[in-house]
Structure 1
Amino acid sequence: MVKATIEDVAEEAGVSVATVDRVLNGRAAVRPQTAERVERAIRRLNYQPDRLAARLARAREYRFCFILPEGANAFMLALGDAVQEESLRMVREKVVIDLRYTDVFDAQKLSATLDSIGPVYDGVAVVALDHPRVREAINALSERGVSVVTLVSDVPSSKRIHYVGIDNSAAGRTAATLMGRYLSGRKGKVGLVAGSLSLRDHIERQFGFEQVMAHDFPNLTILPVREGRDDRDKVKAVADQILADNPDLIGLYNVGAGSGGIAAALEHAGRARDVVFITHELTEDTRRALIDGTIDIIINQDAGHEVRSAIRVLMSKADKLPIVEQMERIRIDIYLRDNIP
């Protein structure tokens, strides 16, 4: 089948090519009856605009900004690497991508970073803290005409246009089912470590985990969640304390990052083989601990896919085209030592 052109749409609708272009891009007012004829013609012909050609014909560049957490979180560093890689690729499509780092655990600092985004940007992708200040900063950007995508951690009550990341409640439920199955009827305590309970992804994982554990595995006692701010040393100190206070600990679930600290604590306590340890994100540290047997399961999300998805969503918004939801669904990967890539 020959691909329909904009000229075919114009002929089918009985209008000029310029009118079709105005309908597609919303550049100028078109009478509702005319717009309806054009849209019917587009549907009948299954017309797909050549987005790349349209971008290259633009008189100016699109400019996007990614805001990521500062610090040594290996997954977030991988996100940063993916942003830099994609920024080089997108230059030929007249898209400029900038990268900023800030303390996303601090609502004031993160909101100040968002407030500093100027009108030069068409869109922003941000790893977000679910806090009123951050929500209002996102809303202010939206009102200034800057599209916002939340990345990895969401602020659903804000005016962001899309969330790019895994279903974190499902990830937590998955971790709970795997933990319960691995412990196979044993009785004891299971500890939880989170980066921050102000990060929605961590809250949702905790909620999903506790929900399944309480319903399906009443033989296991869930300890109160402890926060480590995704810092390896702080997470190690938290894990050391959990192990010291709970000799009957048989499971650990790390909701966030800093898993190398938990692995070190387990190994130091001589308990790396009798405590089931489930964590998130395949990094150099977690890969090594998975192969060694200190980590039993890693629940992963693909950093590169998330960055590319955020860019596609921002491009769709800038081009006034619909998002292809199937392409933007981020899957949950489960890695054992036996299937590590």
Structure 2
Amino acid sequence: MHDRTRRPTLVDVADYARVSLATVDRVFNRRPGVSPRTVERVEAALVKLGYRPDAAALRLARGIHYNFCFLLPTGGNTFMSQLAGHIERSIDWLRDQNVFCDLKRVNVFDAQELAVELRQLQGRYHGIGVVALDHPVVRDAIDALVEGGAHVVTLVSDVPSSRRHRFIGIDNSAAGRTAATLMGRFLSAKNGRIGVIAGSLALRDHAERLFGFQQVIGSEYPGLVLLPPQQGQDSAESCREITRQLVRENPDLVGIYSIGAGNRGIAEALIESGRSHDIVFIGHELTEFSRRYLMQGIMHAVINQDSGHEARSAARVLLAFCSGQQVIDDQERIRIDIFLRDNLP
């Protein structure tokens, strides 16, 4: 009798139907050579036991395997390092699904370099996940991969005009609006200037966050004036110098919104200026540095996306696309988290 505490196998079906495993295999795969009465008995056993095929086992038995590649940015971005770690753990899970993966690093701020790297993946991979720059040459490279039969998902930053199959990340316009609402409420009736520091506005996620932030500040907080956004290339050193300049040139500076990485440099410059507790500082991604600055009261809020969820989602979605399985939208939706000092996990 089948042990109902474990998943039924075709061997269990054969035992239950009192036929050979070869007969069950013929019935299951719709091959001829089995009498109608036996087919009926085997199909009844499949239903009775609730047999569901193990997709990984089927791929292994049929010699089917997939090759995936993940392209992440170079540099010292702490969030991207977290994402890389989660992808490496997802690679271990994918290996059990008969999927072999590579993880590569590329300068995503350089559209030409990223496009060249993407084109070099042509014909080598069934599934590709990439943190992408929204640029025509990158779009064309993604389209060429899709035309060649690869499944492509963008991670964190999207190229919506491309033929990529899915974007895995948060609603970045909503994230920017959320940051603006928090900024306005923290500042209450206070008037003044707000500095905005992005990594690169060529990155779709950074451009969308800026758009959402500008929408809310412009329409709901007329006493707050946004300074022209500056781009720090997600470098702590560059963001430190930009912050020093913002503080030096704007005595009425009341807030800083960090759209990308480089929060460490911003915090260090604020501490150095002696104004770390009277300038509202809001940024993105919960890392070891942003956690520390929240605890110290230097950062007021962090808008976060779960890098582990994104890595697992990318692995599941690519596998589903390659194997013809259904993508569960609710499972793959990446939500926006808001962390204050009071609710740190």
Q: TM-score range by the shorter chain?
A: 0.7 to 0.9
Pairing partner for 1:197 from 201, 205, 218:
201
Letter in 1 for 2:153: V
* 2:232 maps to 1:225: no
Q: Using a 3 Å threshold, how does the CA distance of structure 1 residues 144 and 177 change in structure 2: closer, same or farther?
A: same
Tell me the residue number matched to 2:123: 119
* 2:79 maps to 1:75: yes
Whole-angstrom CA distance in 2 between matches of 1:176 and 1:93: 43
Question: What secondary structure sits across from 2:134 in the alignment?
Answer: coil
Letter in 1 for 2:257: Y
Letter in 1 for 2:74: E
Tell me the residue number matched to 1:152: 156
Whole-angstrom CA distance in 2 between matches of 1:159 and 1:117: 16
Letter in 1 for 2:93: R
Q: Which moved more, 1:82-91 or 1:144-153?
A: 82-91
Whole-angstrom CA distance in 2 between matches of 1:86 and 1:221: 44
Whole-angstrom CA distance in 1 between matches of 2:320 and 2:91: 17
Pairing partner for 2:191 from 187, 190, 213:
187
Whole-angstrom CA distance in 1 between matches of 2:199 and 2:62: 43
Pairing partner for 2:269 from 244, 261, 265:
265
Tell me the residue number matched to 1:96: 100
Letter in 2 for 1:96: F
Provide structure 2 residue ranges, at least 5 long, that are not aligned to the other structure. Answer: 14-26, 32-49
Whole-angstrom CA distance in 1 between matches of 2:190 and 2:76: 36
Question: What secondary structure sits across from 1:299 in the alignment?
Answer: strand
**After the TM superposition, which residues 15-54 of structure 1 pair with which residues of structure 2 at under 5 Å, given as runs?**
17-18=28-29, 50-54=54-58
- 1:163-187 CA-to-partner distances (Å, cap 9, x unmatched) read 0000000000000000000100101
Letter in 2 for 1:63: N
* 2:214 maps to 1:210: yes
Whole-angstrom CA distance in 2 between matches of 1:79 and 1:250: 32
Provide structure 1 residue ranges, at least 5 long, that are not aligned to the other structure. Answer: 8-15, 21-45
Letter in 1 for 2:265: G
Give, in angstroms, the shift of residue 54 of structure 1: 3.1
**After the TM superposition, which residues 254-293 of structure 1 pair with which residues of structure 2 at under 5 Å, given as runs?**
254-293=258-297
Give, in angstroms, the shift of residue 87 of structure 1: 1.2
Give, in angstroms, the shift of residue 90 of structure 1: 2.1
- 1:295-335 CA-to-partner distances (Å, cap 9, x unmatched) read 11011111111010011110011111221100110011111
Q: Identity of counterpart residues, as a percentage?
A: 51
Whole-angstrom CA distance in 1 between matches of 2:141 and 2:283: 31
Give, in angstroms, the shift of residue 84 of structure 1: 1.2
Whole-angstrom CA distance in 2 between matches of 1:110 and 1:329: 26
Whole-angstrom CA distance in 2 between matches of 1:93 and 1:51: 8
Tell me the residue number matched to 2:22: none
Q: TM-score, normalised by structure 1?
A: 0.86
Whole-angstrom CA distance in 2 between matches of 1:5 and 1:185: 66
Letter in 1 for 2:116: A
Letter in 1 for 2:134: D
Whole-angstrom CA distance in 1 between matches of 2:132 and 2:222: 34
Whole-angstrom CA distance in 2 between matches of 1:58 and 1:240: 61
Whole-angstrom CA distance in 2 between matches of 1:210 and 1:65: 36
Give, in angstroms, the shift of residue 4 of structure 1: 12
* 2:314 maps to 1:306: no
Letter in 1 for 2:236: R
Letter in 1 for 2:60: L
Tell me the residue number matched to 2:60: 56
Question: What secondary structure sits across from 1:298 in the alignment?
Answer: strand
Tell me the residue number matched to 2:144: 140
Letter in 1 for 2:221: F
- 1:23-57 CA-to-partner distances (Å, cap 9, x unmatched) read xxxxxxxxxxxxxxxxxxxxxxx997643443333
Tell me the residue number matched to 1:334: 338
Q: How many residues align?
A: 308
Pairing partner for 1:173 from 170, 177, 180:
177
Q: Using a 3 Å threshold, how does the CA distance of structure 1 residues 96 and 248 change in structure 2: closer, same or farther?
A: same
Question: What secondary structure sits across from 1:338 in the alignment?
Answer: helix
RMSD: 2.1
Structure 1 segments, 4+ long, off by >2 Å, are 2-7, 16-20, 46-58
